[in-house]
Chain A
Amino acid sequence: VSTSRIVVIGGGVASAAAVAELRSEGYDGDLTLVSAEDAVPYERPPLSKEFLVGDPGDGAVKDPAWYQEQSVGLRLGLRATGLDLPGRTVTLSDGSVLGYDQLLLATGVRPRVLPGVEGDGVCYLRTIADATELRDRIHAAGHVAVLGGGFIGCEVAAAAIRLGKRATILEALPTLLYRALGPDLGDVMAGIHRSEGVDVRTGQQVTGVQSRAGGVTISTAGGAVDADVLVVGVGTVPNTELAEQAGLPAGNGIDVDEHFATAAPGVYAAGDVAAQRLPGRQSGVRVEHHDTATRHGRAAAHAMLGRREPFRDVHWFWSDQYDHTIQSAGLPDGSAELVIRGSLEQRSFSAFSLDGDRLRAVISLNRPADVLAARRLIARDHSVTAGQLRDESLPLKRLAAPAAAR
């Protein structure tokens, strides 16, 4: 009797998507999901947004009964502590050992912890447990301080404002969302946060954080900030330790090819932790966004089922802040020309990264239809000019139509 065992390590949406796809594509062998968290995989995007405001749904991707119906073994609340590549076994934190024929590492990322920035009233946000504690603290707080003006920090500040709290964002870089959006678009977002009442302090180096009874004092060169709670969102660290200990190449994430294969036979990696080699890219592409993680999980499942489909899905993400939606498609290229359609002042625009006649990426504010059209365009063979992209009388949808229909 030929048997097959697949083990999936990690409790995020990449894992959930992988096990669901394996079953829906007819894989009927052993299937086990291991997660360090106590809950079945759930949606993380709401945790920095509506979950904090007061909608406490657990957001399970599939409810626990689904795993039972589909004969997916759940090993929750357990870490994978050891990986034996030649022996094809994983050791868990309770000492149990799982054998596998194929293994998916979807161990995700964890918040980067600043040395000394810990203690009562200092919160990092990744898990539903983190979000539950943060929600309780924000609801009880008068003043919420955020260290780091990235997506997590901006979304938490927006949630605090929605709850009627004072909010302060401290960011070392010249503007908010600087790395993700660049200086000009970042300034638009800083303007939005300021007009919603957030005290936005950019270019602020934090020199000390003092946790005291009932609050936190953050010292900066520009003065001290007293807050009831401090949320730290200063990036993440990929959870590569298990892979590294086993000898798998993992610099900034676990190195995988276009089929999610690592250097070891039968071992794959997907989601936030995977650094994927893609055509035209010098280094592995590691993406920390929900849609990519889901698509990775599905595609890795296909790879484990023996399909040879290189990953070509267009990367996409969104962030909701107040009544505004930021969306992006594609992978921007530092050397590309930035072309603006719409108006930064009116907070309705799409910023396209144009590389010759090829659209590489778009970042848009409150223009979801532009992003959909651009996403279609990026996925297909196309040729486009800066003039066409700027011309609001020309529907982007028409550029994205198949050549025959043009």
Chain B
Amino acid sequence: METARWRDTINLDDLWEGDMIAVTVDGETVLLVNVDGTVRAYSNRCPHQASALDEGDLDGETLTCAKHLWEFNAVTGCGINPDDAQLKSFGCQVGDDGTIYVDIGR
């Protein structure tokens, strides 16, 4: 059975609530978002045309891609506009010392 491969990234101290940041994990650019203390990890590439999501905007729970204004719920990864899009999601957890761990599935 496949087991999770957690890679450490940054510390929660460096990702404020309402903030997002792109980190590189094994060559994959991962977007970390912090919505009210909940941290999520997604591929940093917009499902529309692969534009970098960290150049966009996080306003409350709404993540907006800067290139063509596709909007996503930053907690669920579900598209808002258009509503049938979906962010590629990665496993993500925060350790006791605040380290954010990400599993990109390989």
Which A residues are within 8 Å of any B CB, using their own CB?
Answer: 20, 24, 61-62, 291, 294, 316, 318, 325, 368-369, 371-373, 376, 397
Per the bound structure, the CA–CA distance linking A143 and B87 in Å amounts to: 41
Q: Determine if B69 and A291 form an interchain contact, defined as CB atoms under 8 angstroms apart.
A: yes
* Known A373-B57, A376-B59: A368·B67 in contact at CB below 8 Å: yes
Contact call A325/B67, Cβ cutoff below 8 A: yes
Partner of A376, one of B55, B57, B67: B57
Contact: A372 with B67, CB < 8 Å? no
Q: A368-B56, A368-B67, A372-B64 provided; 5 other pairs, C-beta below 8 A?
A: A294-B81, A369-B56, A371-B66, A376-B59, A397-B57
* Pairs across A and B, CB under 8 Å, 27 listed: A20-B83, A24-B83, A61-B82, A62-B84, A291-B69, A294-B81, A316-B69, A318-B67, A318-B68, A325-B67, A368-B55, A368-B56, A368-B66, A368-B67, A369-B55, A369-B56, A369-B57, A369-B66, A371-B66, A372-B56, A372-B57, A372-B64, A372-B66, A373-B57, A376-B57, A376-B59, A397-B57
Q: How far is the CB of A354 from chain B (nearest CB, A)?
A: 21
Closest to A318 in B: B68
List which B49-103 residues lie within 8 A (CB) of chain A. Answer: 55-57, 59, 64, 66-69, 81-84
| Closest Cβ neighbor of B66 among chain A residues | A368
Closest to A21 in B: B83
| Min C-beta distance of B33 to chain A, whole Å | 15
State A294–B59 Cα separation when bound (angstroms): 21
Nearest Cβ distance between residue A65 and chain B, in whole angstroms? 12
Closest to A50 in B: B49
How many residues does chain B have at the interface if contact means C-beta atoms less than 8 Å apart? 13
Specify which chain B residues have a CB less than 8 angstroms from the CB of A316 in the assembled complex. 69
Residue numbers of B with Cβ under 8 A of A are: 55-57, 59, 64, 66-69, 81-84
**Would you list the 9 A-B pairs with minimal beta carbon distance, nearest first?**
A368-B66, A372-B57, A372-B66, A369-B55, A369-B66, A368-B55, A368-B67, A318-B68, A291-B69
List the A residue with the shortest CB-CB distance to B82: A61
A291–B81 CA distance with the chains assembled, in angstroms: 10
What is the bound-complex CA distance between A24 and B83, given in angstroms? 10
Q: Which residues of B contact A373 (CB under 8 A)?
A: 57
Least CB distance, B57 to chain A, in whole angstroms: 4
B82: which A residues are within 8 A, CB to CB? 61
In the bound complex, how far is the Cα of B84 from the Cα of A62, in angstroms? 9
CB distance from A162 to the nearest CB of B (A): 15
B70 to chain A, nearest CB (A): 10
Within the complex, the shortest CB–CB distance from A43 to chain B, in Å, comes to 10
A369 CA to B69 CA in the complex, in Å?
Answer: 11
Bound state CA distance, A366 and B52, in angstroms?
A: 13
The answer for the CA separation of A318 and B59 in the assembled complex, in Å, is: 21
Q: How far is the CA of A291 from the CA of B64 in the complex (A)?
A: 13
CB distance from A397 to the nearest CB of B (A): 8
- Closest A residue by C-beta to B65: A368
Chain A residues closer than 8 Å to B66, beta-carbon distance = 368-369, 371-372
Which residues in B have their C-beta under 8 angstroms from that of A325? Answer: 67
**Nearest-neighbor residue (CB-CB) of A63 within chain B:** B84
How far is the CB of A366 from the nearest CB of chain B, in Å? 11
Q: Which residues of B contact A369 (CB under 8 A)?
A: 55-57, 66
Output the least CB separation between A353 and chain B (Å).
Answer: 20
Determine the chain B residues whose CB is within 8 A of the CB of A24 once the complex forms: 83
Q: By CB atoms of chain A within 10 A, which of B55, B66, B81, B84 has the most? A: B66
Q: Across the interface, which residues of A come within 8 angstroms of B84, CB to CB?
A: 62
CB distance from B54 to the nearest CB of A (A): 10
Interface centre among B64, B67, B82, B84 (most CB of A within 10 A): B82
Q: How far is the CA of A376 from the CA of B58 in the complex (A)?
A: 11
Closest CB in chain A relative to B83 CB, distance in Å: 7
Residue of B nearest to A329 (CB): B69
> Which residues from A are CB-within-8-Å of B56?
368-369, 372
**Once the chains are docked, how many angstroms separate the CA of A372 from the CA of B67?**
9
For B67, B68, B83, which residue has the most chain A Cβ atoms within 10 angstroms?
B68
Complexed CA–CA distance, A371 and B67 (Å): 10
Task: Indicate the member of A291, A371, A372, A376 with the most B CB atoms within 10 Å.
Answer: A372
Q: List A contacts of B55 (CB < 8 A).
A: 368-369
